[in-house]
Structures are given as C-alpha cells and as structure tokens.
Amino acid sequence: MKTRYGDFKRWLIGNGRVDGILELQSVFPSQKGSEYLLWSDYETALGEHDLDTVINWSWENLYLTVDSVGNMLFNNGFIDIQLPDIINEAFTKWVRSIKMSSQKVYNNITTESLYLTFNYTDTLETLYQIPEWLVLHIHGRVSKGEKLIVGNNHHINPADYWNDNIDLRENNERMQRLTDINDLCKPYYDIIERNEIFFQSMNLISDIYVIRHSCDEIDYPYFHKVRESVRSNARWHFNPYNEDDERRIDVLRQKIGFE
C-alpha cells in the first residue's frame, strides 16, 4: 500500500499542490540527508518547525481556491485558513485516496488478540477480517469520517516569545500564530482518557507484539499507558527493520521499563 510519507508528497504533486509543498517545507525545514524530513518522518518534522517563519507567517504567500466539490486547490484566490487546517485537510484527503492491498503480509493477525493501531485505514477490518470491536484506531479511522490525528509532542509556550519592542497588535498576532502551531501537538492524554475502557480491557494481556512501529518518542505516552494496563510480567515482542529501529526500541525499553 502506498502509505509512505513520500507517497503523500507524490499525491500532493499529482493534485496540483506544489505551492503547498514549498510552504510546508519553509515552515518545517528539517532535513534528513538531502531530503526534507517531512517526506520520510512527517510527524517528527512537524515538531521541528522554524519558529521565525511561524512567527512571521503571512498567508498572503499561500493562495487557495475551492472547486465545485469543495476540494482546495493551490492556485488563484485566497482563503484565510490556518496552517494546521491545511495540513489536516490535505493529509486526510490523501489517506482517503489510499487503495487497500489484496495481499496479506502477516499470518499472526487473528481474532484472538486486541489491536491498538496507528493506521488510519481499514486494513485490519477489511484485509484481515478482524471485528471492529477488537480494534482501536487511536488516531482516527478515515472510513468513519473521524478526525485524523497527525502531529508531534513539541509544545511551545507562546508567552516566551512576547517582544516588548513591538506594538501590542503585532505581539497578539505572533501569539496567535504560535497558538495555532500548537494545534499540531497530539492531545495524548485526552485521547487516552476517551479510550480508557479499551485500555482497561488489556488487564489480562501477557504478550504485546509491536509491528512496524517506529517506536519514536512521539508516541511514548501510548506505550506508557499500555505498559500500565497489561500484566506486570507481560512480554514485549518487536520486529526491528534496521539498526535505527533497534536503537529506538532500546531507548523505549529504558524509558518505559520492560524486558
């Protein structure tokens, strides 16, 4: 399935959103090698925004129109819309466009388990025929029209960037832009609280299998919650893809405290 962030970039290009790509790269300029981090580790890149660009952001640089069916297009015209809205709107439309695979990859996906998935699509329900009551889409399920959660854990305090050398109006505009960028932070604890019943149902779980998750610190709060919810002697099983994965898994093990 074409679910890599590089596929997201190709989708944006194919839908005439090159201007949007350039704007996103100006706000989130982190790079990995010669490539923008956005197109390999999107959520990490969203947390490494360029504060000077954010503070001085001008929507006059970004032109949008809406076609007859409500699709936003990056060309003539202007709509006053916040950066997180653009990111979520484009990201959600891309996820909706992803075609489901017809080929199973894993043989151990059965109805004898509970599933906490970070996947927005119905891969488990459709391809593996897992009943939906066994699955928690922790960041939303696109087929149900749910809001998709995409973001980071880099929260900033706008008050730290108040500037006594400029007037009140400009300061207020700066504060609003910084508040808007905080909308890209995942509301971890609200999400966990809303799904408390699911986590309580894990109390007899003795084995946790982590399948193709980067184990990056962005999602540590969820790992913490799982660790608290399962049996104290539960065994954790990982399937590292490369040395970077092995390193992140080891850091996660030390942070969360499991063998």
pLDDT (tens digit per residue) in 17-65: 787 788 788 888 999 888 999 998 888 888 888 888 777 766 555 544 4
Q: Give the separation between CA 204 and CA 28, rounded to whole angstroms.
A: 42
Q: Long-range contacts for 54-63 (Cβ within 8 Å, ≥24 apart)?
A: 54/27, 54/177, 54/178, 54/181, 55/161, 55/174, 55/177, 55/178, 57/27, 57/83, 57/177, 61/23, 62/19, 62/20, 62/23, 62/86, 63/19
pLDDT (tens digit per residue) in 126-178: 999 999 999 999 999 999 999 999 888 888 888 888 888 888 888 888 888 78
